[in-house]
Chain A
Amino acid sequence: MTERPDGLREAVAGIWCAMLGVDHVSPEDDFFEAGGDSGLAVETAISLRALTGTDLDLDLVYQHPEFGGLLSFLTDPRPAGEERPLTPAEERLWFAERLHPGSPTYHIAALYRVPGRVDVPRLRTALDALVARHDALRRGFEAPGRAVTSAAATVECRWLDAFGLPETTVRELIDEHARRPFDLANPPLLRALAVDRGDEDDLLLLTVHHLVCDGASLAVLEDDLGRLYSGAEVGPRADAVAGTSSRLFDQDESRAYWRRTLAGAPRGIALPHDLPRTASPGSAGAVHALACPEDLLAGMADLAAGERLSPFMTWIVAYVAGLVSLTGERDVVIGIAASSRTPEQRGEIGMFVDPVPLRLLLPDGTTTRDLARQVRRATAEALAHRGVPFQTVVEDLGPGGDPARAPLVQAGLTYLDAAGTALRLDGLVAHRELLPTGTAKYELLWSVTRGPDGTTTEFEYLTGLFSAEKAVDVHTGLVDAARAAFARPDAPLSLPGRPPTAATSHTDPDRAATGGLRPIPELVRLRAAQRPDAPAVRHRGVELTYRQLDERAVAIATGLRAAGLRRGGVVAVPLPRGIDSVCAYLGIFYAGCAYLPLDPDQPPDRVRTALLGVADAVLVTGSHPSLPPELRVLDLEDLLRARRADPAVPVRVVGEDPAYLISTSGSTGRPKTVVVPHRGISRLVPDAEGIVYHSDDRVAHLCNPAFDASILELWGALGSGAVLVVGDKEDALSPARLRAFLDEERVTVLGLPTALLHTVIDFAPDAMSGVRLLIFGGEKADEQRLTRLMAHQPPARVVNVYGPTENTTVSTLQRVTPADLDPGPLSIGRAVSGSTAYALGLHGEPVAAGVEGELYVGGEGLALGYHGNPALTAASFVPDPFGPAGGRLYRTGDRVRPTADGTFHFVGRTDDQVKVRGFRVELGEIELALRSLPGVTDAVVFARATADSTELLACVTGGADLADAAGIGEALRTRLPGYMVPAVVVTDRLPLNANGKVDRAALLASLPEDLPSPHGETGPPPEDDPLAEAVTALWCESLGTADARPDDSFVALGGHSIKALKLLARVDESFGVEVDLADFLAEPTLRALVTAVARDTENAPTG
C-alpha cells in the first residue's frame, strides 16, 4: 500500500470521529480504547459499508481496531485486481462493445451548467474519493470477458479554458470528450471535464461508461460527489441497512414463463422509418427531444389514478399506444429497462439494468384502458421474472428474426424520475443534461425523464433508418397518438388507417386551400387559368397549350352533353395515344362522365366484349368498323368542329364520382371492369409522397392507355401543369429509339413496365440519365439489372410501384437506392399516401413480420367496384376492421410477406392470375379462348418465369381437325390481345390427378425447359450459310426453342414484343444491323429476318 486516496482517508476519519465523538484521529488510535463499544463497532462497519459500497464484514472493526490498519484494509481490502466473471447485464454491453469497439453507444455523458466556479483541485479529490468508495468505479473489463476490480484508480479530470471560444467549438470539444472511447481494461470508466467560460457559468461534464453505471446510479454519483466536494459528511446512508430482497421466481420457473409468454412473438417490429434498411444499419444515432405536453401528462395522471398504475407503467401505455398507431402492429414486443438493484444496493453506483421484453397483444377494439390493465399485469410479471438474463430469454426462443436486427427487442423505453436529483457543489446547484453520443442503443428508444422543470421525452433513433425530418414526424406522431389514447381511454386504440402523413404529403397549396383533394378536371382547369400558354400536350412536334387543351375539352364536353350524356355516364375511347385521346379523356371528365380506355389494336371481338353493357357511348376518330350497332358512336372530329356558341360548363364532380373504368382479364372469360373514382387519382397525382410531379417536368406518355399506369402519366403531367410528351409505340419498343425519344423530348419523368425497363437496362443503361423520376412496376424487378442501372448515370429518383387497378394503380411504393439492391430481394415498399395496406392471415388477422399473408389494400384509392357485378364486388371488397368505420379493403390475391420495417415483399398469387409484361392475365380466360377454337377439346395454360419476365405456355389436346401450334396461335390472336397469346404445345392427352383434375404440376414438369418447336424435331436448318445459322441461333435463344424453320412466325411462337426487341438488339450487337421493329413485326418470320440482316450486310464477306 503506497498510495492512499485522501478522499477515502477523510471519509473514514469522518465516520470514526462521528462515531466516537472525537474531532481528530491518528493512525495508531484504537477504536475500543477511544470509547467504542460493540454497538458503535457495528454501526461503524455499516457506515463503512455504505461509504465503500462493499459488503464489509460486520465485525470489521474487531479485525482492524487501529485506525491505520482499518484504513489500509479499506484502501486495499483485497488482493489487487480481483477478478470475477461478467454479470449478464455486463456481458450484454461487453458484447456490444466487442461488436463495435470504441463506440460511445454506452457512454453516459452528463453535462452540468454550474452557476459559478468549479474548484478543480477539490473536484479531483472528490472524484478520487468517489472512486475509492464505489467498487464499480474501480472496475475494468478484459477479454475474453472478465471484470477486474482494482484497489485504486485515479479519475482523469481535465480543465478547459474556453474563455472567448465560440459556443460551437466548446460544444465540439465537449462532444469529443464525451465520445472518446474508454480503455475498458483501465479503470475508472469515469472521467471529468471542467470548462471555464470566463463570465459565463462553468460547465462540468462527467462521462461514465454504462458498464459501471446506470440511471439510478447517476443520482447516487451526483449525491456522493456533491458531498465529497463540499466536505459534507458522507455518513451511513439510511437506505444502506439490509432490506427485504424482492421476491423473484427461480430461474427454471422464470425461463418457462418467458418461453410461454413469448411463444410466437414477432421477432421484429415494423418501425415507420423512411430510409431503406441495409444489411447493417450501424449504431450511429441521434436524439430528438420534446417537452411533454401538459394535456398528455394530465390524461396519463387520470388513467394512472383510476387504474393504479405506476408512472413507468403509464409511460409504457403511452409508448405502446403510440407504436400501435404508427406501425399498425397488433402484437408488440418492447424492451424496458429493469433494475436488479436490491434495497441494500440503493446507495451503490453500478450497472444493475438489463432489458426485459414486454409483449402486448392488441386485438381489434383494444382500448387504452384495456392496454393499461394488460401493461400493469405484464410489467408486474416481467419484473418478477427478470432474474433471467435477456440473452437467456432470447436463446430460449430459438433461432429466428432478422440477423441484421437486434434480437427480439428493437424498440425500447426508459423512464427516469430525476426531479429530485441535482449535483450540489458547495451550494451551487446544477441539473444534468444527458448529451447525445451520436449513437443509438435501439433502433428506436423513447427515454422519458421527469426533471425539475417538467417532463422531457427523447426519441433516440438510428440515423441509418430515420432521417432527421422523419424522426421529428415519428416522435410528434408518437406523442400525438399517446395524447389521443389518454384523451379517450375507453375508445379503441387508433391504427394507422389514415397515416397522419397522408393529409400533409400533398404539398400543392392550390390543393391544400380546398381542404381536400381537388378532382383532376378542376385541377387541370386551374392550371389552364394559371398558365394558359404553357404547353400541355405534345406529339410528333405538334403542341397544345393548356388553354387550347381546355377549349377542346370543353367542346368535347359540350358535344357529349348534347348527345345526351350525363354525370355518371361511361364513354369508351378506343383511340391510340395522341393529342386526340388526351383531349377526349379531359372532355369526358368535363361532361361529368367516366372514360373507358380501350386498346384499338385489340381484336375487335374483345373490344366489343369490353364495351357491351358498360359504355353509354364511344368516342372515335374517323370511321370505326365493327362497333356494336346499339352503341352511340360519336366522332371526335365532329364534336370539335361543331363548336357551339354556348359551350357547356364543366360539370363539377366529387371524389366519389367515377373517373375511369379499366377492363382487366377475368377468369370467367369475361373481362372485369373496375370503376375508379376521382379521389383515387387525386390521392396519387400530382404530389403523392415519393412521386411528385413539377410544373417544369416533361412527362412521357408511353403507356398503353388501356393499362391503368397511364393515369400516372396523363394526370401527373396535366395535374401539375407539366408537359405531357406523347410517344408512339415504336418509341417504346426499341431501347435505341427510346433513348432518342427521351433525349429529343428532354423527358424528365418516365414510367416503364418492369420487363421493358429490364430490356432498356440491358441495351441502353444510360438512356435515362436525363430523367428525374423513373417509375416502374408491374412485375418483380431484377436486382442485378437495377444495380447495373444505378451504375450508369441513373435517374435522380427511381421508384418501384405496386398495385392492382382496384386500388388505383399504386398501392405501395419503394424508392430504389443502391443500398436496397445490396442485401436481397427488392421489396414493393410501403403504402402510398392516402392508402393502407395490411398482410392478413386466413381469418383476416394481421400476420407477424416475416410471415406470409394476403395483401389487403384500402384508403382513398379504393375502386367503387366492378361495373355491373355486385357479387364479385362484394366478394372482393370486404369490410375494413382496422380503419375508419364503414371502410372497405380490397383483397388483392397477392401473397406478401411484411417485413419488420413495414414494407412488403411480393411472394406470389393466391390464384392463377399472372402478370405478363405488366398486364394482368387470368389463365382461365386464355384457356376459355383456346377451348372455343375449332378442334380443341381441352387446353391448359401455364405461366412460367423466365429470366426477365413471364412466359405463357399452353398445352392443347384436340381431334383430327386441330390446327398446328402456329395455326392455333394465329387463331388466338384474333380473340386475345398479343400479350395473352401463349406459346402452344399440342399434346396427346392431359395428365389427371387423383381428383380427376388436370395435373398441372405434372404437365408443367413434362415440358422441356426449352419449349420445343411445334413443328417437331425434323426441321432442317433454314439456310446453308453462316449468317443464317448465326441469326437462327439468336432466334432460338430468344424464343427458348431448340430449332427453327424459315417460315416460323416469331409472334405465333410466343415471341412478344419485348422478346422481339431483345432479339433485334442481339442482332444489332452481333451484326451491326439495325432491323426496324415495326418492319420485323410486319413480317415476323425467321426467313424475313435473315433476309433483312443479309441485305444490310451484303457488303460484308458473309457469303
Chain B
Amino acid sequence: MSESTTTAPEYDVVVNDEEQYSIWAVGRAVPAGWHAVGVSGTKEKCLEHVEEVWTDMRPKSLRLAMGEN
C-alpha cells in the first residue's frame, strides 16, 4: 500500500518506566507513567522502531533485581 493514499491513524512510540515499549494513537492523551519517545508514524513504522530499540525485553526492575544478585 502506498504512503500517499493511506489515512490510517498515526501512532506514537511510547515507553514506560519499566522501559517497556508500546504504541499509542496520536491525539489521545498519553496515559500517566508513559511518555512518547519522539517517533511517530504508521503502526508499521512505529513497530519497526520498537523492534530496533527494544533489545532487552526484561522490565527494568527485573534487570535491577538481577544485577543485585
Interface residues of A (CB under 8 A from B): 364-365, 567-568, 651-652, 654, 656-657, 675, 843-844, 864-865, 867-868, 870-871, 873-875, 877-881, 884-888
Contact = CB atoms under 8 A, between A and B. Distances in A.
A365 B29 contact: yes
B24 A878 contact: yes
A879 B57 contact: no
A654 B30 contact: no
Interface string B15-28: 01110111111001
B59 A879 contact: no
Contacts of B21: 870, 873-874
A865 B57 contact: yes
A864 B29 CA distance: 24
Nearest to B48: A871
B8 interface: no
28 contacts: A364-B29, A365-B29, A656-B59, A675-B57, A843-B25, A843-B28, A844-B28, A864-B59, A870-B55, A870-B57, A871-B48, A871-B50, A873-B57, A874-B21, A874-B23, A874-B47, A874-B50, A874-B54, A878-B23, A878-B24, A879-B22, A879-B31, A881-B29, A886-B17, A886-B18, A887-B16, A887-B33, A888-B20
A884 B33 contact: yes
Contacts of A843: 25, 28
A450 to B, nearest CB: 37
Given A874-B22, A878-B24, A656 B32 contact: no
Nearest to A866: B57
A354 to B, nearest CB: 39
A886 B33 contact: yes
A657 B25 contact: no
A888 B47 CA distance: 16
Nearest to B59: A656
Q: Which of B14, B33, B48 has the most CB of A within 10 A?
A: B33
A873 B58 CA distance: 12
Given A657-B62, A843-B25, A879-B31, A870 B54 contact: yes
B65 interface: yes
Nearest to A875: B47
B1 interface: no
Contacts of B61: 654, 656
B26 to A, nearest CB: 12
A885 B31 CA distance: 7
Contacts of B57: 675, 864-865, 867-868, 870, 873
A654 B62 contact: yes
A888 B16 contact: yes
Nearest to B32: A885
Contacts of B17: 885-886
B34 A886 contact: yes
Contact of B33 (A568, A652, A885): A885
B3 interface: no
A879 B25 CA distance: 11
Interface string B44-69: 00111011001101110110011001
Contact of A877 (B20, B30, B43): B20
A885 B58 CA distance: 18
Contacts of A879: 14, 16, 22, 24, 30-31, 33-34
Given A654-B62, A864-B58, A878 B22 contact: yes
Contacts of B23: 874-875, 878
Contact of A871 (B16, B20, B32, B47): B47
A870 B32 CA distance: 22
B55 to A, nearest CB: 8
Nearest to A865: B57
B15 to A, nearest CB: 9
Nearest to B21: A874
B66 to A, nearest CB: 6
B28 A568 contact: no
A651 B48 CA distance: 36
B31 A881 contact: yes
B9 to A, nearest CB: 9
Given A865-B57, A880-B31, A886-B18, 4 more contacts: A364-B29, A652-B69, A654-B62, A870-B21
Contacts of B66: 567-568
Q: Which of B25, B48, B50, B61 has the most CB of A within 10 A?
A: B50
Contacts of B22: 874-875, 877-879, 888
A652 B61 CA distance: 15
A945 to B, nearest CB: 32
Contacts of B20: 865, 873, 877, 888
A567 B69 CA distance: 9
A875 B43 contact: yes
A843 B24 CA distance: 10
Contacts of A881: 29, 31
Nearest to A363: B29
Closest 5 CB pairs of A and B: A886-B33, A885-B33, A870-B54, A886-B16, A871-B47
Nearest to A878: B22
A654 B25 contact: no
Contacts of A886: 16-18, 32-34
A445 B52 CA distance: 55
A152 B29 CA distance: 67
Nearest to B62: A656
B68 to A, nearest CB: 10
Nearest to A873: B57
A152 B33 CA distance: 71
A462 B1 CA distance: 57
Nearest to A653: B65
Contacts of A675: 57
Contacts of A880: 31
B52 to A, nearest CB: 9
Contacts of B28: 843-844
Contacts of B69: 567, 651-652
Contacts of B29: 364-365, 881
Nearest to A592: B69
B43 to A, nearest CB: 7
A867 B58 CA distance: 10
A875 B25 CA distance: 11
A735 to B, nearest CB: 44
Contacts of A651: 69
B25 to A, nearest CB: 7
A202 to B, nearest CB: 60
A886 to B, nearest CB: 3
Contacts of A873: 20-21, 54, 57
A326 B43 CA distance: 35
A868 B16 CA distance: 19
A801 to B, nearest CB: 26
A888 B58 CA distance: 14
A870 B31 contact: no
Contacts of A365: 29
A656 B60 CA distance: 10
Nearest to A880: B31
Nearest to B53: A870
Contacts of B62: 654, 656-657
A675 B58 CA distance: 10
Contacts of A568: 58, 66
Nearest to A886: B33
Contacts of B18: 886
A488 to B, nearest CB: 14
A893 B61 CA distance: 29
Nearest to A872: B47
A711 B60 CA distance: 26
A877 B24 CA distance: 11
A871 B61 CA distance: 21
Nearest to A870: B54
A654 B65 contact: yes
A125 to B, nearest CB: 68
A802 B27 CA distance: 33
Contacts of A865: 20, 57
Nearest to B14: A879
Nearest to A364: B29
A455 to B, nearest CB: 34
